[in-house]
């Protein structure tokens, strides 16, 4: 009797149950982080710019056409960021340049994430000889410095954007695979995977339906940070002439050209550099914010 | 311990083999004939064939690779296609510059990174912590070559304190080393701070406090040793990255290091030089990796036990 | 009446996190006399560990805060101590044994070092040889070989680690030892050894002790007095006879005893207390136990009960006892 009574009392007591989906909770925690929110806004602006530039900027006329008469103009109403050594408007070139960084960054993230996820999840799940072979091959790639690797590939196959994406991804895949593999190995022995296995669930289904979603947090965070790093790397490659080539207004390539006029026209180096920093910073902020939001325990 | 080191050294061999295969394939199976590039615009077919034979390029790909490995095992890394000098000399004339930058840079980043990281953690939420976090956040997102350019502008162009380009004396290494160090340093600060904060939350820190250990001693005796473990690992990784990653910064400062050698060699399809350089850097980074693990073991008795066992 | 060593008066502690304000302690009153063992019993999350950490001022900085009350040690209020006074107090007058021996030793320092450090700190000027000898003595006292003091924590088993932690706690012969579930993380046979060891040491050194546990058996074996904690309050407090033999008990205490399986009676199922400990960020009104209390009535829901003194040594915080003995005090 008393048992029933207790149950009733506790049921009658006012209890608020917050029913929110996982995604909502993540967003609520993310939203609290002012810096992460700032990063997201900046990043979205850059993405919108990079998508919409063709609507209001004419590549042939405004981005690469040379007007030697107008060269090295300082900031004015017509050219808010001035003009470069060929009289091209720096602002137009800068806005157009966002396309390369965002495209390459997203490409590297997508490629290294998907290859890393498949390799890492399968290696971690199946283990044994398969795991050994994959990991030893990746060890080899891991031992080649990333920049050297990228340069060799670009030199060998040419510096088109897809080649660049592949070249940089190759440097990121080993690390990505390792991270995913280790989180799969940790997850593999947990009870809910055991339960799925006990129900005779297909292996591929266990990997894709049960394990990968649980490793998703790590994946997203690593992917974001990779994107930030690869944007910097691409700018670096273009700077030394192994990436996207002038006259395309990639930010690294713009810096490379500007370096020749450093002594007299240093202002040409400010804008592209700041653009790279802002883009990479906004992505880092998003990555950090996501990490805290996905795993509140990790927060300091 | 010796057994462990030997085992690790043996493990380097397959990695180097793997790298040689990958590189040799990339360099050979792509369009472009090194002999053609070397000989210039005016040449006879005969001379070209002769040059090809001289460089061993007339043999089939597989034969070329076997020959290369065979010679390399005997300490002969061939001659540069471009300069006709022994590859060994080519690489080692460039290497000191890269090593100097890397060495200077790692000292800067570890010393500053660890100190700032500890102070930020100990004074969490203080103004200093907030400021250093903001700065590291930005620094971690700045390309090193742009930092290099800005440092050049400030110290060489505006203030005229340091050389503009090239290496005449040691001062030439300062700016490149700082430029390379800053982004890595930012990561070291963040890592030191966060592991330090983690360690300070551990039960054994409470135990130490409950014993009446003064705060300074808790930080330096009880926390720091534990917090340094991941920092050692990251510093080791950073050295490896820098050895192969100063390419861009060398271009900024016109330093004749490994980076510029690599770029010219890759452009000229100078396979022997590319192979030797990358393999050399890979061996070095494996050795640094091993050294990191040994340092780790010296700090953490648990790891030491594993290595001995 | 024995001499008071520690007196906690109306202690309130809050934890402020990003998500919530957690009311960890809500007016704890507790007295420990010299040389006495006091058992602090309750479920996980009742505030036992927080009470101990408050005594040593080990609440997490910026998060945990004492909002009200006094912790008097030999008549002096510990929260008013300066940093220096605290360092002298910790370890030498009051030591703490933490719950999990696996994590409470520093993995990169030898165990001998960790014991010696405490002796060195509180005996300035003591020679190295004397410290060494004292460490050896402590090791022998807790049944460990002194030769092993140069080893690192990972080379010891859980039970041995706990012995080291106890050696550390007793190294400076403190007046008060806070033992926070010292045996929970150990297996049953080791538990017995450790408990016996602690009991012997307590009697040898005449150390007062607060024994935090959720195991009433341990309290019966070791303690002179005990308090039952629930949701940050002590809801029943008394001599060991009061707790184990009195016919009057707080319904929660009754529940605690009821949940111990009785081997002499054949039952089909265990008899746990219904429901869960309330969320300390969202405490119930009135008596905090009312949602789970089988004897709950209207008053319990709305009015916080007073503390009723049933005998000079026995007190209960529950509305049921207002008629049994008049004149309860706050």
For the ranges A79-88, A266-275, B25-34, C289-298, the lowest mean pLDDT is seen at B25-34
Q: Is residue B29 part of a domain?
A: no
- Residues listed for chain C: 330
The ipTM (two decimal places) reads 0.85
Q: Is residue A124 part of a domain?
A: yes
Contact B143 A269 (CB under 8 A): no
Task: State in Å, rounded, how far the first CA of chain A is from the last one.
Answer: 48
**CA distance to partner chain A, nearest, from residue B282 (Å):** 5
Three-state SS at C233: strand
Q: Is residue B39 part of a domain?
A: no
Which residues on chain B are in Cβ contact (under 8 Å) with A235?
143, 145-146
Look at residue C327 in the predicted model and tell me its pLDDT. 43
Look at residue A20 in the predicted model and tell me its pLDDT. 61
C114-130 mean pLDDT: 92
Q: Rounded to the nearest 5°, which phi and psi values hold at C33?
A: -90, 165
Distance CA A97, CA B260 (A): 26
Supply the range of the domain harboring residue B187: 94-308
Contact B301 C89 (CB under 8 A): no
Contact C291 A13 (CB under 8 A): yes
Would you call C64 an interface residue with chain B, using a CB distance cutoff of 8 Å?
no
> Above 70 in pLDDT, residue A300?
no
Subunits with 3+ C-beta pairs closer than 8 A to A: B, C
Q: Is residue B8 part of a domain?
A: no
Q: Is residue A9 part of a domain?
A: no
Is the pTM here over 0.90, yes or no?
A: no
Q: Is residue B186 part of a domain?
A: yes
Which of C296, C297, C320 is best to mutate for the A interface (most A CBs within 10 A)? C296
Distance CA C126, CA A271 (A): 66
Instruction: Tell me the pLDDT of chain C averaged across its residues.
Output: 87
Q: Is residue A227 part of a domain?
A: yes
**CB of A96 closer than 8 Å to CB of A63:** yes
Task: State in Å, rounded, how far the first CA of chain B is from the last one.
Answer: 9
Q: Is residue A155 part of a domain?
A: yes
Distances (CA, A) of C308 to C235, C300, C314, C315, C330: 10, 15, 9, 5, 8
**Which C positions 261-300 lie with beta carbon below 8 A of chain A?**
274-275, 282, 284, 290-296
**CB of B156 closer than 8 Å to CB of B188:** no
* Radius of gyration from C-alpha coordinates of chain B: 24
Which residue in A176, A180, A13 sits closest to A108, CA to CA? A176
Would you call C122 an interface residue with chain B, using a CB distance cutoff of 8 Å?
yes
Q: How many other C-beta atoms lie within 10 A of the C-beta of residue A65?
A: 14
Which residue in C24, C23, C73 sits closest to C48, CA to CA? C24
**CA distance to partner chain B, nearest, from residue C32 (Å):** 19
Question: Is cis: bond before A247, omega within 30 of 0?
Answer: yes
Report the DSSP pairing between strands C315-317 and C307-309. antiparallel
Distance CA A269, CA A235 (A): 13
Report the DSSP pairing between strands C307-309 and C37-41. unpaired
Name the token pair of C247. 């016919």
**CA distance to partner chain A, nearest, from residue C289 (Å):** 10
Would you call C254 an interface residue with chain A, using a CB distance cutoff of 8 Å?
no
- Residue of chain B nearest C96, judged by CA positions: B210
Write the CATH number for B188.
1.10.3720.10
Q: Is residue B84 part of a domain?
A: no
Subunits with 3+ C-beta pairs closer than 8 A to B: A, C
Q: Rounded to the nearest 5°, which phi and psi values hold at C201?
A: -65, -40
List the single residue in C100, C107, C121 with the smallest CB-CB distance to B211.
C121
Distance CA B244, CA B286 (A): 13
Distance CA A71, CA A90 (A): 11
Which of C108, C114, C117 is best to mutate for the B interface (most B CBs within 10 A)? C108
Name the token pair of A233. 């790397």
Three-state SS at B221: helix
Contact C296 A2 (CB under 8 A): no
**CB of C79 closer than 8 Å to CB of C106:** no
Distance CA C237, CA C313 (A): 8
Which residue in C199, C237, C207 sits closest to C313, CA to CA? C237
Digitized pLDDT (tens) for each residue of chain B, 309 residues in all: 888 899 889 988 888 888 888 888 888 766 677 777 777 777 778 888 888 887 777 788 888 888 888 888 888 888 888 888 888 888 889 888 999 999 999 999 999 999 999 999 998 888 999 999 899 989 989 999 999 999 988 888 888 777 777 677 788 888 999 999 999 999 999 999 999 998 998 899 999 999 999 999 999 999 998 998 889 989 998 998 888 878 889 888 888 888 888 888 888 888 888 888 888 888 888 899 899 989 988 888 888 887 775
Name the token pair of C302. 């709305």
Would you call C273 an interface residue with chain B, using a CB distance cutoff of 8 Å?
no
Name the token pair of A78. 């017509």
Distance CA A280, CA A101 (A): 10
User: Sorting pLDDT into bands at 50, 70 and 90, what band is A298?
Assistant: very low
H or E element at residue C230: strand C225-230
Q: What is the DSSP string of chain A?
A: -HHHHHHHHHHHS--------HHHHHHHHHHH-HHHHHHHHHHHHHHHHHHHHHHH--IIIIIS---GGGTT--S-SS-TT-B-TT--BHHHHHHHHHHHHHHHHHHHHHHHHHHHHHHHHHHHHH-HHHHHHHHHHHHHHHHS-HHHHHHHHHHHH---HHHHHHHHHHHHHHHHHHHHHHHHHHHHTSHHHHHHHHTT--HHHIIIIIIHHHHHHHHHHHHHHHHHHHHHHHHHHHHTTSSSPTTS--HHHHHHHHHTTTTT-GGGGHHHHHHHHHHHHHHHHHHHHHHHHH-GGG--
CA angle, corner C227, sides to C222 and C232, nearest 5? Answer: 135
Q: Is residue B45 part of a domain?
A: no
Distance CA A195, CA A181 (A): 20
C58-81 in b/e burial notation, b at 16+ Cβ within 10 A? Answer: bbeeeebebeebebebeeeebeeb
DSSP state of C172: T
Q: Is residue B76 part of a domain?
A: no
Q: What is the 3-state secondary structure (H, E, C) of B252-269?
A: HHCCCCHHHHHHHHHHCC
Distance CA C114, CA B293 (A): 26
Distance CA B284, CA B16 (A): 11
DSSP E strands, B226-305:
none
Q: How many other C-beta atoms lie within 10 A of the C-beta of residue A220?
A: 18
Which residues on chain B are in Cβ contact (under 8 Å) with A237?
248
Helices A270-294 and A251-259 pack at an angle, to 10 degrees, of: 150
Which residues on chain B are in Cβ contact (under 8 Å) with C154?
301-302, 305
Would you call A284 an interface residue with chain B, using a CB distance cutoff of 8 Å?
yes
CATH numbers and ranges of domains, chain C:
4-93+174-265 (3.40.50.300), 101-173 (no CATH)
**CA distance to partner chain C, nearest, from residue A10 (Å):** 5
Contact C152 B302 (CB under 8 A): yes
Q: Is residue B221 part of a domain?
A: yes
Report the DSSP pairing between strands C176-180 and C208-213. parallel
Summarised one tens digit per residue, pLDDT across range C140-188 is 888 889 999 999 999 999 888 988 998 898 888 899 999 988 887 777 8
How much of chain C, in percent, has pLDDT values that exceed 90?
A: 42
Q: Rounded to the nearest 5°, which phi and psi values hold at C322?
A: -70, -25
DSSP state of B101: H
Q: Quote the number of domains for chain A.
A: 1
Distance CA B293, CA B309 (A): 15
Summarised one tens digit per residue, pLDDT across range A170-213 is 988 998 898 888 888 877 777 777 787 778 777 777 777 777 77
Distance CA C7, CA A42 (A): 57
| Count of pairs with CB atoms under 8 A, one residue in A, one in C | 28
Distance CA B68, CA B77 (A): 7
> Above 60 in pLDDT, residue C1?
no
Contact C86 B302 (CB under 8 A): no
Name the token pair of C256. 């605690």
Q: How many other C-beta atoms lie within 10 A of the C-beta of residue A120?
A: 29
Q: Quote the number of domains for chain B.
A: 1
List the single residue in B18, B244, B274 with the smallest CB-CB distance to A145.
B244
């Amino acid at each position: 009797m008393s048992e029933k009574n207790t149950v009733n009392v506790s049921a009658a007591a006012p209890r608020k149950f917050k029913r929110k989906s996982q995604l909502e909770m993540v967003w609520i925690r993310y939203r609290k982080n002012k810096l992460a929110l700032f990063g997201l806004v900046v990043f979205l602006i850059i993405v919108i710019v990079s998508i919409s530039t063709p609507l209001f900027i004419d590549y042939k006329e405004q981005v690469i056409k040379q007007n030697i008469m107008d060269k090295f103009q300082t900031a004015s109403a017509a050219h808010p960021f001035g003009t470069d050594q060929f009289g091209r408007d720096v602002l137009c070139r800068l806005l157009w340049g966002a396309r390369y960084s965002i495209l390459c960054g997203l490409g590297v993230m997508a490629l290294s994430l998907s290859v890393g996820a498949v390799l890492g999840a399968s290696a971690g799940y199946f283990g044994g000889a398969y795991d050994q072979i994959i990991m030893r091959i990746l060890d080899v790639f891991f031992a080649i410095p990333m920049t050297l690797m990228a340069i060799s590939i670009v030199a060998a196959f040419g510096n088109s954007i897809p080649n660049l994406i592949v070249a940089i991804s190759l440097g990121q895949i080993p690390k990505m695979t390792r991270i995913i593999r280790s989180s799969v190995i940790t997850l593999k022995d947990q009870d809910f995977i055991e339960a799925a296995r006990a129900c005779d669930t297909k292996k591929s289904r266990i990997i894709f339906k049960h394990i990968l979603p649980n490793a998703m947090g790590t994946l997203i965070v690593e992917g974001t940070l990779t994107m930030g790093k690869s944007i910097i790397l691409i700018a670096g490659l273009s700077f030394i002439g192994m990436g996207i080539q002038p006259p395309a207004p990639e930010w690294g390539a713009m810096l490379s050209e500007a370096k020749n006029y450093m002594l007299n026209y240093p202002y040409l180096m400010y804008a592209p550099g700041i653009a790279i920093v802002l883009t990479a910073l906004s992505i880092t902020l998003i990555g950090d914010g996501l990490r805290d939001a996905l795993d509140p325990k990790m927060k300091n | 311990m010796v057994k462990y080191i030997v085992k690790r050294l043996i493990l380097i061999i397959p990695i180097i083999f793997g790298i040689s295969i990958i590189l040799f394939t990339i360099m050979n199976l792509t369009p472009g004939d090194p002999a053609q590039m070397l000989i210039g615009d005016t040449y006879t077919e005969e001379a070209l064939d002769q040059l090809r034979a001289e460089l061993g390029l007339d043999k089939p790909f597989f034969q070329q690779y076997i020959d290369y490995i065979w010679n390399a095992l005997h300490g002969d890394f061939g001659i540069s296609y471009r300069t006709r000098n022994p590859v060994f000399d080519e690489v080692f004339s460039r290497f000191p510059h890269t090593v100097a930058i890397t060495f200077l840079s790692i000292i800067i980043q570890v010393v500053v990174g660890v100190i700032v990281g500890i102070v930020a953690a100990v004074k969490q939420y203080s103004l200093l912590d907030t400021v250093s976090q903001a700065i590291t956040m930005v620094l971690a997102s700045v390309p090193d070559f742009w930092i290099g350019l800005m440092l050049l502008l400030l110290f060489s162009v505006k203030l005229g304190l340091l050389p503009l380009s090239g290496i005449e004396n040691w001062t030439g290494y300062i700016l490149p080393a700082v430029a390379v160090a800053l982004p890595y340093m930012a990561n070291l600060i963040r890592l030191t701070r966060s592991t330090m904060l983690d360690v300070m939350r551990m039960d054994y820190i409470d135990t130490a406090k409950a014993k009446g250990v003064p705060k300074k001693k808790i930080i330096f005796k009880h926390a720091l040793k534990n917090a340094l473990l991941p920092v050692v690992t990251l510093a080791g990784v950073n050295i490896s990255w820098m050895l192969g990653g100063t390419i861009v910064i060398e271009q900024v400062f016109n330093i004749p290091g490994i980076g510029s050698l690599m770029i010219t060699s890759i452009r000229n399809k100078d396979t022997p030089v590319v192979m030797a350089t990358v393999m050399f850097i890979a061996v070095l980074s494996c050795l640094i990796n091993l050294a990191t693990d040994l340092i780790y073991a010296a700090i953490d008795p648990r790891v030491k036990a594993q290595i001995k066992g | 009446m024995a001499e008071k060593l520690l007196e906690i008066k109306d202690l309130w502690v809050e934890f402020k996190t990003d998500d919530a304000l957690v009311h960890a302690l809500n007016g704890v009153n507790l007295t420990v006399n010299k040389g006495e063992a006091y058992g602090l019993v309750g479920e996980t999350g009742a505030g036992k560990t927080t009470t101990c950490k408050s005594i040593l001022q080990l609440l997490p900085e910026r998060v945990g805060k004492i909002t009200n009350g006094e912790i008097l040690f030999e008549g002096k209020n510990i929260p008013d101590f300066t940093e220096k006074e605290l360092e002298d107090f910790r370890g030498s007058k009051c030591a703490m044994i933490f719950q999990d021996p696996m994590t409470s030793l520093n993995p990169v320092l030898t165990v001998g070092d960790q014991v010696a450090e405490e002796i060195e700190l509180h005996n300035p000027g003591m020679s190295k040889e004397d410290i060494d000898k004292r460490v050896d003595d402590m090791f022998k006292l807790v049944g460990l070989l002194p030769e092993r003091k140069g080893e690192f924590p990972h080379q010891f088993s859980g039970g041995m680690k706990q012995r080291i932690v106890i050696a550390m706690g007793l190294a400076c012969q403190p007046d008060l030892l806070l033992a926070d579930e010292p045996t929970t993380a150990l297996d049953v046979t080791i538990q017995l050894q450790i408990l016996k060891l602690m009991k012997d040491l307590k009697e040898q050194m005449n150390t007062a002790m607060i024994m935090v546990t959720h195991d009433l058996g341990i309290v019966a074996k070791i303690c002179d007095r005990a308090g039952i904690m629930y949701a940050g309050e002590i809801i029943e407090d008394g001599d060991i006879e009061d707790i184990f033999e009195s016919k009057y008990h707080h319904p929660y205490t009754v529940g605690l005893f009821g949940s111990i399986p009785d081997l002499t009676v054949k039952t089909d199922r265990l008899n746990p207390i219904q429901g869960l400990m309330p969320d300390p960020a969202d405490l119930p009104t009135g008596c905090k136990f009312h949602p789970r209390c089988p004897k709950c009535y209207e008053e319990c829901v709305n009015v916080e009960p007073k503390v009723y003194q049933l005998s000079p040594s026995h007190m209960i915080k529950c509305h049921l006892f207002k008629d049994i003995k008049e004149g309860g005090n706050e």
